[in-house]
Amino acid sequence: MDKVGIAGIDRFNSSPEGWHPTDFLPGCKSVVVFCTRVPDGAVNAVLRECEDHLMSAHGIYGAFGYVGAPNYNLLWANYKLAMFIEEKTGCIAVPEPAGPTHGAGMLSMRHAAFAAGLGEFGWNSLILTPEFGPRNRFGAVLTTAELEPDPMYSGPRLCDPSKCRVCVTMCPTKAIPTYVKDQGRVVSVGGKTCTYGGTNWARCRVMCHGTIPEYNETGENLIPKEMTNPINEDLDKPIFEFYNRNPRMHFHQHNPTWKCGYCLVYCPVGNWKERFEDRGLTRVRMSKMVDGWEAG
């Protein structure tokens, strides 16, 4: 794994009912969280789809940057780490599934990664690490072993939505709200507080499922035609209700969820300029969307 951190159980005091680590493992004392980075080449595939409309390229991201290889990599890491903890300590270890795995419930990997000190929330609602920005996939193992927790992330601020509007600008369905001071969702863990935008998941689904003609291979509407203008706020509720009435569209196991990713691939955090812009992999100029553009 590319990064690893440990969170004590006290950092999950604000978990929603039914989603606390002890709901899955009574007596859980520690949560080990780790991540694998998304390959730069998988990110490039999204750039080619977005900028060149090469629809077939996006599947590379789906296979190697989202659902496929990263999740299997995390799956085996979960399994091996759980086995290692049980063999070495005699304590119980529960591997949390990575991605859509047999319909199993799982903790919020974003909040677990934040609690383990791996990074902080960006305005795009994703966890940013200083090394890779949001281009990470996370896994976790719950254990009754009492392990020394890692400190919360205390490095330079990674996302300043008052200066950067990349994720808001690049989102095709306006699922990420425009930054307004003192608005957004607040998460506070281990003495560290972050505010993030709070993605409109109804609008996000329209893109990540590729349900409108401009963003799927069929060129057809995969949801009722009257719902194909997700920018209209009046359609948020009908879209959400449509997904709830159609489990095949609603659950990750039965429908692609990788057909967007713009907020992940275009976020300037994690040496994006050096890795993508300076190499000529993109024609989107971040300097036009970030006030005081620096290394990023």
Kindly report, residue by residue over 6-33, the tens digit of the pLDDT: 999 999 999 988 999 999 999 999 999 9
Distance CA 22, CA 279 (A): 46
* Residue type for position 81: L
Tokens describing residue 167 = 């994720």
pLDDT digits (tens, 9 = 90+) for 101-133: 656 667 899 999 999 999 999 999 999 999 999
Distance CA 240, CA 276 (A): 35
For residue 223, the tally of other CB atoms under 10 A from its CB is 19
CB 213 within 8 A of CB 184: no
Closest CA relative to residue 170, chosen from 61, 272, 284, 57: 284
Distance CA 267, CA 144 (A): 37
pLDDT of 81 reads 97
Closest CA relative to residue 109, chosen from 98, 100, 120, 101: 98
* Residue type for position 29: K
* Residue type for position 91: C
pLDDT of 208 reads 82
What sign does the dihedral 150-164-50-194 (CA atoms) show? positive
| Sequence spans of domains, the chain | 3-288
Residues of the chain with pLDDT below 50 are 251, 295-296
CA 91 to chain centre: 30
Is 53 exposed, middle or buried (CB count within 10 Å of its CB: 0-12, 13-18, 19+)?
exposed
Q: How many residues does the chain have?
A: 296
The strand ranges marked E within the chain are 3-8, 30-37, 93-96, 120-121, 127-128, 136-143, 185-189, 192-196
DSSP codes of every residue in 8-25 = EGGGGTTPPTT-SHHHHS
Pairing mode of beta strands 136-143, 93-96: antiparallel
pLDDT of 271 reads 92
Quote the pTM value: 0.89
Indicate the DSSP class of residue 102: T
pLDDT of 295 reads 42
